[in-house]
Amino acid sequence: MRRFPIRRALPLSILALASLFALALLPSARSVTVTDVGADAKLLAKLDDDWSKVAATKDADKVAAFYADDAVAYPPNEPVANGREAAKKVWATYLGLPDFAISWKTVHAEVAASGDIGFTAGTYELSFKGPDGKKVAEKGKYLCTWKKQKDGNWKAVHDMWNSDAK
């Protein structure tokens, strides 16, 4: 006498075969790209540090080149700047101030597992000569979202900063 009659085992065999077939198709249904997010995060931190060095040159065109065409900048106490050209105008105003100097330091960089979006965050210091001729100094923080473009380069897509002043 059999413990498992063939007619009871048949549905289990079909289920097992169907499961194996589904598992075999699973990898082809969704291709997964493995990305070294650690290396990409280091790259973003380097890009951000390079951007700071470029800002020290006071060249608004070169500063704006770090933004994507459709980037959004959120300068403190000003309206949102939509697009690279609008962000360039914001930077040109800052860079045009007498004795303007700025630098920032990336404190944290991270890239999503998808490998196509990331962020940098850190601190900045800036100074300029105020309307009364006195030096104005400011310290603050920033958060920048980066997106990998079709050509593989990273561009800033959302850039926000504000002062630590109370």
Determine the pLDDT at residue 35. Answer: 55
Name which residue leads in pLDDT, 136 or 17.
136
Residue 97: which pLDDT band, with cuts at 50, 70 and 90?
Answer: very high
Taking alpha carbons only, the member of 134, 136, 143 closest to residue 162 is: 143
- Domain ranges for the chain: 37-163
Q: What is the pLDDT of residue 36?
A: 66
Identify which has the larger pLDDT, 80 or 38. Answer: 80
pLDDT in tens, 112-128: 999 999 999 999 999 99
- State percent of the chain over pLDDT 90: 74
Find the range with the poorest average confidence among 9-18, 72-81, 89-98, 136-145. Answer: 9-18
- 3-state secondary structure (DSSP) of residue 147: strand
Q: Would you call 71 exposed, middle or buried from its count of C-beta atoms within 10 A (0-12, 13-18, 19+)? A: buried
- What is the spatial order of strands in the sheet that 154-163 belongs to? 81-82, 67-74, 154-163, 135-148, 117-129, 101-111
Compare 32 and 127 and report the one with higher pLDDT: 127
Task: Provide CB contacts within 8 A for 153, sequence distance 6+.
Answer: none
- For 37-163, the fitting CATH number among 3.10.450.50, 3.30.310.80, 3.30.460.80, 3.40.50.720 is 3.10.450.50
| Whole-number average pLDDT of the chain | 84
- pLDDT score, position 153: 97
Q: What confidence tier does 165 reach under pLDDT thresholds 50, 70, 90?
A: confident
What is this structure's pTM?
Answer: 0.77
Q: Which residue has the higher pLDDT, 26 or 165?
A: 165
